[in-house]
Amino acid sequence: MTDRRLSPYDWVVVSYSIVIAGLIVLSHSRVPNWWAYSGIHLAVAASCVGMARWRPRHRALAFLHDWDVVVYVPVLFFMTCVLVHRVHPVDYDDWLIRIDTRIGGIAVLKWMEGIERPWLTTFSKTVWIFFYFLTLIPGIPLYLRNREGFAEGKLLVVLCFLGSYVGYYALPAEGPGYHQQKIGVAQPDFEQSKVTSTMKDTIYRLEREARDTFPSGHVMVAAMTIVLLLRNRLWKTCWIGIPVSLGVIWSTIYLRYHYLIDGIVGLALVALIAWLGPKWQRKSI
């Protein structure tokens, strides 16, 4: 986009940030330093608008705007880790467990517990960590070869991320790992090296009081990665991206980080985003 209008991607980031800032203000009695958290969200919105408006004049700014998603998404995610349970102080795990029981999700978790092996757990945990780099697999080749495809993919990816964050605020839940006794399924033991132990402790420290279960952002982003690879015919990259993406989806349930319903709803949302997102993007050009 060569003009100074906001793109669909910009509208998604700006709208999300402003709405969450408003929720923080409305919940200020439960949110310590609410003004700072609200200010961070407004700063993200202002930054996005500023770069969109000024990018035609500066090549460096255009590059930063192309890749600002790698900054906005982690910042907004870690805000959910602190804010979700303060903005909406109710856990919906009991409700999700009842749904999972009815659709066979708990039975799936028990089956996975039955096939648990140390090597499979280590493999699943390793693949799960690759989630943090997953969208770069289609993102980098698209940026180098197809800027229109990159812009569309960027919109679809941010819709997956921020769409899952909206779900966290709407239906906060801890996940099956925190309710092992209730569902009768334990999380798999993980033989940790010094490196993996440090990574796990860092992630847990950053996530703090996270309620990031419904829907599964991991499943959504992994499924969207597959969509982008196939839709843009990145056949060579598919050999890496599809197995890793499927591994992330598998590990999300195998490691008991999510209920089955989290993944099912996540896949349904990906189908909706993959259908409507490109229409919006092409209409804006």
Examine residue 141 and state whether it is found in any structural domain, yes or no: yes
Q: Answer yes or no: is 75 within a domain.
A: no
Residue 214 maps to a domain: yes
Range of the domain at 126: 90-284
pTM of the model: 0.91
Chain Cα centroid distance, residue 91:
19
How many angstroms separate the CA atoms of 189 and 220, rounded? 26
Question: What is the phi/psi pair of residue 68, to 5°?
Answer: -65, -20
Domain count, the chain: 1
Of 6-15, 42-51, 56-65, least confident by mean pLDDT is: 56-65
Pick from 30-34, 38-42, 207-211: least confident: 207-211
Average pLDDT, the chain: 90
Tell me if 196 is assigned to some domain.
Answer: yes
CA dist 193 to 126, 132, 186, 244, Å? Answer: 12, 20, 21, 22
Q: pLDDT confidence of 5, banded at 50, 70, 90?
A: confident
- Whether 5 is covered by a domain: the verdict is no
Q: Name the residue among 125, 104, 96 with its Cα closest to residue 197.
A: 125
Domain-located, residue 55: no
Mean pLDDT calculated for residue range 88-96: 95
Distances from the Cα of 137 to the Cα of 134, 155, 250, 273, 277, angstroms: 6, 16, 18, 19, 20
pLDDT tens column, 181-225: 889 888 887 655 555 555 555 555 555 567 899 999 999 999 999
The answer on pLDDT for 67 being more than 90 is yes
pLDDT tens digits for range 244-273: 999 999 999 999 999 999 999 999 999 999
